[in-house]
């Protein structure tokens, strides 16, 4: 676990309990760039995320609370400049809110555990869902699939 998590008491990859904290508290425990996007609905500049072109196998978690959000096998190259996925890990992983800011009708995607702003979902994605979850890389934590898991999966094929 990297050092930015040290001061975050709610961060967990396994705890599914909803997280509700006052904004001042989030401000204290989140790194500045994560806070800006997760809590102030900011947007990172396109083509700046290290995850944008990543093909590593593993799981993407919410950088604010550790909630599991997306698996690498649902990630695809959308060419939009942000990490894109066609399906969240489970129905509870994310929540949806309509966002009419800036004169656009969009659907905002938030973390299902801590309500962090993640990005938006559009209906021009690939099969099987036809959806494109366009997600800010700053609010994603990535963990590579453990070697043991990879071996296990290889055996099944
Ligand atoms: Zn979260």
**Mean pLDDT value across residues 48-70:** 96
Ligand 1 center to residue 79 CA distance, Å? Answer: 25
**Is residue 2 in a domain?**
no
Count of domains forming the chain: 1
CB atoms within 10 A of CB 76: 14
Sign of CA dihedral 133, 74, 68, 89: positive
Question: Which residues have a catalytic role annotated?
Answer: 134
Distance 155 CA to ligand 1 centre (A): 33
Determine the pLDDT at residue 3.
47
Burial class (CB in 10 A: 0-12, 13-18, 19+), 43: middle
Return residues with CB closer than 5 A to ligand 1 (ion): 62, 64-65, 67, 111, 113-114, 116
Asked if the structure places residue 151 within a domain, the reply is no
Residue 134 in any domain: the answer is: yes
Provide the domain limits for residue 24. 20-144
Q: Which residues contact 32 (CB under 8 A, 6 or more apart)?
A: none
Distance 128 CA to ligand 1 centre (A): 25
Residue 125 to residues 18, 73, 86, 131, 136, Cα–Cα distance (Å): 29, 14, 6, 4, 17
pLDDT score for 131 = 98
Mean pLDDT over 66-95 rounds to 97
Instruction: Give the rounded distance of the alpha carbon of 80 from its chain centre.
Output: 16
- 109, 83 contact by CB (below 8 A): no
Distances (CA, A) of 84 to 24, 36, 74, 96, 97: 30, 20, 8, 16, 18
- Is the pLDDT assigned to residue 5 strictly greater than 90? no
Coil vs helix vs strand at 148: helix
Asked if residue 11 belongs to a domain, the reply is no
pTM of the predicted model over 0.85: yes
Is 66 contained in some domain? yes
pLDDT of 58 above 90: yes
CATH number, domain containing residue 99: 2.170.150.20
Best CA proximity match to 82, nearest among 136, 141, 33, 142? 136
Q: Is residue 3 part of a domain?
A: no
Comparison of pLDDT for 123 and 151, the residue scoring more = 123
- What is the share, in percent, of the chain residues with pLDDT greater than 90? 85
Are residues 38 and 4 in contact, defined by beta-carbon separation less than 8 angstroms? no
In a domain, 149, yes or no: no
Asked whether residue 150 is domain-assigned, the answer is no
């Amino acid at each position: 676990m990297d050092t930015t998590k040290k001061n975050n008491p709610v961060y967990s990859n396994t705890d599914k309990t909803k997280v509700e904290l006052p904004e001042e508290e989030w401000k204290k425990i989140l790194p500045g760039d994560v806070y800006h996007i997760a809590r102030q609905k900011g947007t990172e500049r396109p083509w700046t995320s290290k995850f944008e072109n990543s093909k590593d196998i593993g799981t993407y978690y919410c950088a604010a609370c550790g909630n599991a959000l997306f698996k690498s096998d649902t990630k695809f190259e959308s060419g939009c400049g942000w990490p894109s996925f066609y399906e969240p890990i489970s129905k509870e992983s994310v929540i949806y809110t309509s966002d009419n800011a800036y004169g656009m009708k969009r659907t905002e995607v938030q973390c299902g555990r801590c309500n962090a702003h993640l990005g938006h979902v559009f209906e021009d994605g690939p099969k099987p869902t036809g959806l494109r979850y366009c997600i800010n890389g700053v609010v994603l934590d990535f963990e590579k699939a453990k070697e043991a898991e990879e071996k296990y999966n290889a055996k099944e094929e």
